[in-house]
Structure 1
Amino acid sequence: MSKRKRVYREQFSTDFQGLKKVKKVKIMPFANIVQLIKTAAAEGAFAYHAAFHSLSFKAADCTNRLISTVFAESETGRKFSSAQTKTQAIISRILAPKSTENLLSELGSEPFSIATDSSNFKEIKTFPIIIRYFSHEGLKVKLLEFSNLPGETSELIFKYVMTVLDRFKLSPNNLLWGGLKSLVLSTDDIPKVLENLFSDDSNEIYFWFLQSSLQLFQQTLLILEKKDLVLPEMIESVENLSQKLTDRMQKNFVGAMTQSKLQSLEDSNLANRIEKEFSTFYSTSVDYIQKWFRITDYPSSSKWLMLKSVDTISYEDIRKSAEFLMPEISVKDSLFDETSLLISLLKDSKKSFHELPIDKKWAVLFQNELFSDLKKLVYTIFAIPTSNAAVERIFSLCKKQWTDDRNCLKIDTVKGLLQHLASSTSSISSSKMKVEYALQGHERTVHLLLQRSLDCSDKGRLNYIRTNSSETSSLFLDAYYKEPKI
């Protein structure tokens, strides 16, 4: 029987929609797949390393050839190919989306707060969106979105925030809220303002007063700028600052050196006038704190959340906090039982427990499933924003990434870098090609679900999928190449 010539006809594709023209089928041996997995793992680890240490993407072109040359005896080294384009794509399309996926998975339906601000990078006005929430591992502050807007009006920002919340399906219902003087006077052609300032000896008194007073503000600011600051700490620090300023005003204390300089003034009327100005400074500062921090708007008696000792915890304080934030819990009798259990556990707790950060203490306690109502209350309090330090921290990371040498980065690439860097403290084990996150002091491997495709200009389409290893739960990027369309 003669062989019939098989010809593909265009009519087939019309009559049979599932039939496609196939010119060449390439079956990849299993050994090649294993090698591709190892190579992809190396490329993923390199991209992670570049992001974590803020390496220039231009350096990836050179490093790519360097690795292939230095590790020429290794099959993985010879096949390693992660230049600028692919490295950038792995970060923005794999590592960053996984960070967002982890955030949303962890957040679930728990209460959270958001923070945003604007910062300019040349002509681009950037707006990060920070999510603050409490999880089973403790307090988390992560980057959800990083984008640019044409302006910074309240309407634009509101629409931007609501659009992001809607895109990620986050419900707004869960949203909460001496030598210098000598130098100047000895300099020729100094500005007249500075000359008058340093020529008048009475002005030195103001500098001594500012040195004394600003120490109080600096101590408070250092507390407010903590990454893991919680509501009771914020309330306590602001109340302490307000109380110290009030005490100084009532007792006419302006600082030891300031007082000494005032007494040395020959003009008593001038001294009295300066003292009144200092008193006005104190009263204005206290009024400003009360107006802008609005401590009375927060639940009172919230020091129990700090778990400093059994004596600081009482049912009445917890009930008042619940009455302020979650009235439906405050009327439950179970809240009293949970408070009693909490006190009992703290009495029996070890010293190592009390050395933990406050959010880690609660994370350990909530491993006990008997704290259902107290857990809801604590999660809500931890989600309340305490400062804008997290947003400013993102701008610092952005400045580190978006340098003059990397000024051509796209906003999506910067977003990917920031999401990856802000997700958690990280480390790399290059010997096993692992990407690990350090959580609660333990090395835990995080599997990156690499289910997205990357378009690579030189090798076609690269698909990554998740695999498991029998020896370790390390990350491997399973990869296979398809013939590029020409």
Structure 2
Amino acid sequence: MPKRKCRFSVQLQRKYTCFRRGRDDFEGECLVCRPGTFVSVAHKGGRDLQSHMDSEKHKIASRGEASSAKLANVFVKSCSKWEDEVTAAEGTFAFHTVKHHHSYNVMTCTSGLLKTMFPDSDIARKFSSAKTKTEAIVNSVLAPDCLENVLKSLEENEIGYCGVSTDASNHGPVKVVAIVIQYFDWKSGGLQSKIIEMQSQPNETADTIFSYVKETLDSKGLLKKCIAFTGDNCNTVFGGIQQDSEGRNVFAKLKSELDNKTSIGVGCPAHILNNCVHQAADTLDVDVESVIFKIYQYFHIYRVRTEQLKEYCEFVDTEYNKLLSRSKTRWLSSFPGITRLIHAFPAVKAFFLSQNKPPTVLQEFFEHELSEAYLLHLQSLMSMFHSYVLELERENNSVVEILQVLLCVQNMLAERRSHSFMSLKVKSLLKEKREEGLGAECDKFCAEVNRFYDSCIEYLEKRMEPMKEFSCFMWMSLSESLEWDKVGPSIKFLLDREVSIDEGKCFDQFCNLEKFVDQFKGDDEFIKLQAHQKWTKYFETSKNIMCHSELLKMAQGFFALASHYANAGCIFSLSKERGNLSLDSLRSMVLLQYNYKHVTCKEFHAYLLSNTQLLNKIRSTEKYAWARQRRTEEQSASESVSFCTSTGVSYRVPMY
């Protein structure tokens, strides 16, 4: 009887994983050697397979396979979930790089590092997004999608009105102007501030900025929705304190373009407070600003002088802290510098008076008997102004909240002036000087303090005048019980700006709003909310659009008034240390950083995975400039061929 043949069984395949079933059940095919290498198992079974694996041929093939990557590890199956996860990872890392102000050069290292750190991850193994690809994803895919989402949100949520603000800065030798819009969208959380463009301009003249703003709004379909304009208080933007409507300024030109519809202009209140203290300080006999700057310059790069000052601080038992200067554009930034100088005043004074030839300005200052009193008084007043500026520049403030802060500052200054207020430290110092026989000098100082207050009050009253027209909206802060009589002036204000409101429907809807506000009386959490958050909460609880349609128009018109231009001004702080980037890359980074400032990297990753169209754009070579240029050239060549064919003109294709 013949011996039974061995078969290539499942057990053999599990033991010898490099084999699979051959042409029949009695042989196996080696996957390591060249295709078509079959080994018979009919006689010895597994020992036949083992003999083949011990052969020199198989060993050489095994070494070759180990030194080269499989095609499966190089290519990802198209349109698969795996491919989407890899692409989403690349897009998220591009967003992560911009979000956290990393350099694109980091991605050159990150791409290889992920493969090394996570060798068991298929996504990490396929991840390949270095500097060039990451920058292309940001510039050509993520930034355009970000801007498209902003414009789509305006259209889908039926936002009828918006305000616009601008600011300019330098990017190397190039003047860059940013345009920011503000609008109210309760479905997205309330007050929204989004940047829609940032481009270079040849100068900062009124004609240039106006043309740029007009063309940008028109191209985005927002020109007719714009009812307010915000900028700093320079003459180019508003034409002076009274906002001259006939002058050659940006605001006047924008009003004229929109047939006087955009008649709402809002200056920057933070600048008002800053300049208020700056001008008042000029009435003092001592120039504290130049003193702070001189002291800073004297020490900040000189190690020997700094070490000597440390010895003086140790002698008077004072902790040494680096002395500070001020910002070139904000005088209130001198507040930390004054505080540091007061802390180390005995040591600094002793240091300069002990020098052989100190700077004359500093010598005269420290020889002045009341030099410390000037510093203490300014610190006391600037401390108040500093806290209110922080309150003014809080994100998503409304015009009425800004007006409340300015009125509060005005009242405080009036109270201080009526009582000739000075801090206890200043009073104690004056008392000591009077006992030393310096009564005349002390009286002169008190007169300067009163003159200082007068200057602050006069400047503030003058600059606040244009903002008093917004007092009709004070009820919209929803901080107190509502009265219909206070709503009438608001409706008239908006009707004059062609914001259509049905007064009858508005009254009926106002009654519902009144009941809503009354139920939160005494609720500290509700009272602490910003105005736009309170209105958002109301619209969320409203049953349907018919219950709040007119109030929504009022809210959209009111919150379109940007309370300050700090939103536009802070944009350029996002681009610090980016001087080597192209303007296109800088624009794309700022768009993502500003418009997605409340979006986390995890949330953005989920957004990418849910957006197949965006993933396809990230995968496409069209994100590269060279690919777009080549496509343009091919289209131009195709159009030329079509034209010659249709006209019957013969042509010869050049040979390269």
Alignment TM class, shorter chain as reference: 0.7 to 0.9
In the alignment, structure 1 residue 384 sits paired with structure 2 residue 561: yes
Identity within the alignment, %? 27
1:408 paired with 2:565, answer no
CA contact (8 A) 1:143 1:423 kept: yes
Could you tell me which residue of structure 1 aligns to residue 516 of structure 2? 345
Judge which range, 51-60 or 357-366, deviates more: 357-366
Amino acid at match of 1:37: D
Equivalent residue for 1:261? 429
Cα 1:448/1:307, change in 2 over 3 Å:
farther
- Measure, in 2, the Cα distance between the counterparts of 1:219 and 1:339: 35
Q: C-alpha separation between the residues in 1 aligned to 2:442 and 2:207?
A: 50
**CA distance 1:272–1:139, shift in 2 (3 Å):** same
- Amino acid of the structure 2 residue aligned with 1:146: M
Q: Does residue 93 of the first structure (1) align with residue 93 of the second (2)?
A: no
Deviates more, 1:323-332 or 1:160-169: 323-332
The answer to whether residue 366 in structure 2 is matched with residue 198 in structure 1 is yes
Larger displacement relative to structure 2 (109-118 or 409-418):
109-118
SS of the residue corresponding to residue 191 of structure 2 reads: strand
Paired residue type of 2:217: L
Taking the aligned partners of 2:142 and 2:101, their CA distance within structure 1 comes to 15
Matches within 5 A, 1:287-366: 287-294=458-465, 296-309=467-480, 311=481, 313-327=482-496, 332-348=503-519, 356-366=529-539
Q: Match of 1:40?
A: 87
Secondary structure class of the residue paired with 2:574: helix
Of residues 239-248 and 106-115 in structure 1, the stretch that sits farther from structure 2 once superposed is 106-115
Q: Is the counterpart of residue 175 in structure 1 residue 346 in structure 2? A: no
Q: Residue 398 of structure 2 corresponds to which residue in structure 1? A: 230
- In 1: Cα distance, 2:451 partner to 2:503 partner: 48
Other structure's SS at 1:127 match: strand
Return the letter of the residue paired with 2:163.
S
TM, length-normalised to structure 1: 0.78
- CA distance in structure 1 between the aligned counterparts of 2:610 and 2:79, rounded to whole angstroms: 22
Deviation string, structure 1 residues 279-338 (Cα, Å, up to 9, x no partner) = 2222221222222233554322533222234x2x22122222222233576771333222
| Structure 2 counterpart of 1:32, one-letter code | S
Displacement, 1:170? 1.3
CA deviations on 1:64-114 (whole Å, 9 max, x unpaired) are 222234444444333322111111111112211122112212234432222
SS in 2 for 1:33: coil
Report the AA paired with residue 194 of structure 1: L
Q: CA deviation at 1:384?
A: 0.8
SS where residue 398 of structure 1 aligns? coil
Secondary structure at the counterpart of residue 181 of structure 2: strand
| Cα offsets for 1:400-442 (capped at 9, x unmatched) | 5x1xxxx431111111111111113122339x95348xxxxxx
CA distance in 1, matches of 2:356, 2:219: 62
The Cα of 1:446 is off from its aligned counterpart by 7.3
- 1:11 maps to none
Cα distance, 1:357 vs structure 2: 4.1
Q: Aligned letter for 1:345?
A: F
Q: 1:457 to 1:71 in 2, by over 3 A?
A: farther
| 1:139 to 2:185 alignment | no
Corresponding residue of 1:470:
none
**CA RMSD in angstroms, aligned pairs only:** 3.0
Alpha-carbon distance in structure 1 between the residues aligned to 2:226 and 2:624:
43
Distance apart, 1:141 and its partner CA: 1.2
2:241 aligned residue: none
Please, what TM-score do these two structures have when normalized by structure 2?
0.59
Letter in 2 for 1:323: K
1:76 to 123, 130, 135: 123
**Relative to structure 1, is the Cα distance of residues 100 and 68 closer, same or farther in structure 2, using a 3 angstrom cutoff?**
same
How do 1:244-259 and structure 2 match up within 5 A? Answer: 244-259=412-427
Summarize the Cα distance change of 1:456–1:223 in structure 2 as closer, same or farther, 3 Å threshold: closer
Distance across 1 between alignment mates of 2:555 and 2:532:
10
Is the 8 Å Cα contact of residues 143 and 589 (structure 2) preserved in structure 1? yes
Structure 1's 41 and 321: CA in aligned 2 closer, same or farther, altered over 3 A?
same
Q: Verify the 8 A CA contact 2:397 2:530 in the aligned structure 1.
A: no
User: What is the CA–CA distance in structure 1 between the aligned matches of 2:76 and 2:377, rounded to whole Å?
Assistant: 77
**Deviation of 1:364 (Å):** 2.5
Aligned to 2:204: 152
The one-letter code sitting in structure 1 at the alignment partner of 2:488 is: R
- Secondary structure of the residue that 2:580 maps to in structure 1? coil
Structure 1 residue 210: Cα displacement: 0.8
The AA in structure 2 aligned to 1:126 is: V
Letter in 2 for 1:317: K
Whole-Å Cα distance in 2 between the matches of residues 359 and 314 of structure 1?
A: 19
Once structures 1 and 2 are overlaid, which stretch shifts more, 292-301 or 86-95? Answer: 292-301
Aligned-partner Cα distance in 1 for 2:569–2:492: 33
SS across alignment from 1:118: strand
CA distance in structure 2 between the partners assigned to 1:317 and 1:415 by the alignment: 44
Alignment correspondent of 2:593:
421
Is the CA contact 1:45–1:435 (under 8 Å) kept in the aligned structure 2?
no
Q: Distance in 2 between matches of 1:375 and 1:211?
A: 44
Counterpart-to-counterpart distance in 1, 2:116 and 2:370: 71
Which amino acid counterpart does residue 476 of structure 2 have in structure 1?
L
CA 1:112–1:273: 2 relative to 1, 3 Å: same
* Relative contact order higher in (CA < 8 Å, ≥ 6 apart): 1
> 1:212 & 1:429 partners in 2: Cα distance?
45
Aligned residues: 418
Considering fraction of residues, name the structure with more helix.
Answer: 2
Give the whole-Å Cα distance in 2 for the aligned partners of 1:99 and 1:394: 16
SS in 2 for 1:387: coil
Shift of 1:339: 1.9
In 2, Cα distance between equivalents of 1:299 and 1:164: 28
Q: Larger deviation: 250-259 or 213-222?
A: 250-259
Q: In proportion to residue count, which structure has more strand? A: 1
- Which residue does the alignment assign to 2:173? 123
Instruction: Determine if the alignment matches structure 1 residue 104 to structure 2 residue 151.
Output: yes
Structure 2 CA distance for partners of 1:173 and 1:141, relative to 1, 3 Å? closer
